[in-house]
Structure 1
Amino acid sequence: MAAGYINGKWNVQPDGYTPAGCYKWFKGNKPRVNWCKAIWNGWVIPKHQFLGWLIAHEALNTTARLSSFGLAIEDKCYLCGLSEETIEHLFYDCVYSNGVIRELNKQTRWDYPMRDKLNWYVQRTGTVLQRGVQSAMMMGTLYQIWHQRNKSKNENVLLRPECVAKNFMEEMRSRVRGRDRSLMTIAERDWLKGMRLVE
């Protein structure tokens, strides 16, 4: 990377310094990651986006990650207690998490692509609205699982998978109700009905 300032003069842009130009120079030319649009879109709730970003960067503080830093903690999964709590296990292999996903499959009649593990974001299809809703469903599911994990850890409380799925579906229906239906096509409204997100 070239030096930004040389002899007190901004060396990067011919027209002089701008904050945007400085940010672009500082950030550098990095390739766009393939999960970007699945996480950063208007359908996904911000706290779900942040969790997705942590998962994508493998920066979520699972017990396995914390114990790798030398902390004296047991690295078992707080949801099932059957395995080491890694990102892979917690969201895709844990029997409790799989129970939540099975319940959501039943309630939405949509086959969650989460069996593809951390590559689920490439499975989104359809219109911008449909891809956005799919992202919101998947990111929201990851959040619900993490939320239940934290409740189990901190409060020793764990809801049944069907209750987690039911509560999350109500949250998603509320999110869909907040959108302007007049901007949706008939096919999109029918698709949302098929997902049981609208009446």
Structure 2
Amino acid sequence: MAMRFMKVEVNNGASTSFWFDQWSPRGRLIDTTNGRGMINMGIKLNDTVEKAINSHRRRRHREEIFNTIEEEILTLRLRGLNHNEDVCLWKAGDNIYKADFSSKATWNLIRVEQAKVDWYKGIWFPCNTPRYSFMAWIAVQNRLPTGDRILAWNVPAPTACSLCSEPLETRNHLFYKCKYSEEVWKNLTNKLLSVHYTNDWEEIIRLLKDQKWTSTRLFLLRYVFQTTLSTIWKERNGIRHGELSNNPATLIKNVDKAVRNRISSLRSMGIRKHNKAMETWFSFR
């Protein structure tokens, strides 16, 4: 796979394989000739470009591909080899090759590019906590194994909400239509959201990307959302695996502590734009 993104800039030709390296505009010659080139051209399997240029005697061929390769050898011979080392180049775009490897450029070449989703700024924002953002990213794509999704591959499995015994657990129910999870969510965000308070999933996601909020308030909303989501999901999993359930007050305390710890760590790192975050959070608690 990597060979598709490499080519060689020939200088002395000493380290470049004539058949296996991509020094020719036609790609790897071993592939172009379907492995028949060694016999037709008299160039050995392990020969380098340097050896082929210096020792190969031109032949005439019935198949045009071999005559084309003969022309490339002649062109290199007339240009002449030099004393510099051959340079491996990495593909960085359409017909663009560079001496430095870029994982970003390579990723953009191999991935199937999709249109940008409108919620990404609400999930991947500066100063987030990666494990919380990762959980939120899975949730916003509805990929968490909630009851309704489990039902699709395991019919006998219990699908009721572990927190409130609703017959069918869905993402939108768990965050935050469930009586248990809503109590946690409402306690933490009722004052923060004020008249915009909602427990509807789609509406919450819309608020996470609303740039009308101040940067401090928007950061707090996003961080509380992700921390609460991860905490609720952890509690739900614990109950499903036989652990004793905690009351909502315990989860509220844990989320509140996590938010304060994050703000403190940002302040200690000297991130000034969050200097007022602690004071703002206290005012909403």
TM-score, length-scaled by structure 2: 0.58
Contact 2:235 2:246 in 1 (8 A): yes
User: Greater relative contact order: 1 or 2 (C-alpha under 8 angstroms, separation 6 or more)?
Assistant: 1
Query: Compared with structure 1, are the counterparts of its residues 120 and 70 closer, same or farther at alpha carbon in structure 2 (3 Å cutoff)?
Result: same
What is the aligned partner in structure 1 of residue 226 from structure 2? Answer: 139
Structure 1 regions of 5+ residues with no counterpart?
none
Q: Aligned partners of 1:71, 1:43: CA distance in 2, in Å?
A: 41
Q: Aligned partners of 2:230, 2:128: CA distance in 1, in Å?
A: 11
Contact 2:181 2:232 in 1 (8 A): yes
What is the aligned partner in structure 1 of residue 185 from structure 2? Answer: 101
Q: Percent same amino acid at aligned positions? A: 21
Contact 2:188 2:224 in 1 (8 A): no
**Does the alignment pair 1:66 with 2:150?**
yes
**Does the alignment pair 1:176 with 2:257?**
no
**Which segment is superposed worse, 176-185 or 45-54?**
176-185
What is the CA RMSD across the aligned residues, in angstroms? 2.9
Count residues in correspondence: 191
Q: Aligned partners of 2:274, 2:237: CA distance in 1, in Å?
A: 39
What is the aligned partner in structure 1 of residue 44 from structure 2? Answer: none
Task: Flag the structure with higher helix content.
Answer: 1
Equivalent runs, 1:1-199 vs 2, <5 Å = 7-8=26-27, 12-16=93-97, 19=102, 20-105=104-189, 109-111=191-193, 113-124=197-208, 125-180=212-267, 183-184=272-273, 190-196=279-285
Give the structure with higher Rg (CA): 2
SS at match of 2:192: coil
Query: Compared with structure 1, are the counterparts of its residues 185 and 66 closer, same or farther at alpha carbon in structure 2 (3 Å cutoff)?
Result: closer
TM-score, length-scaled by structure 1: 0.80
Contact 1:43 1:133 in 2 (8 A): no
Structure 2 regions of 5+ residues with no counterpart?
6-24, 29-90
2:159 partner amino acid:
D
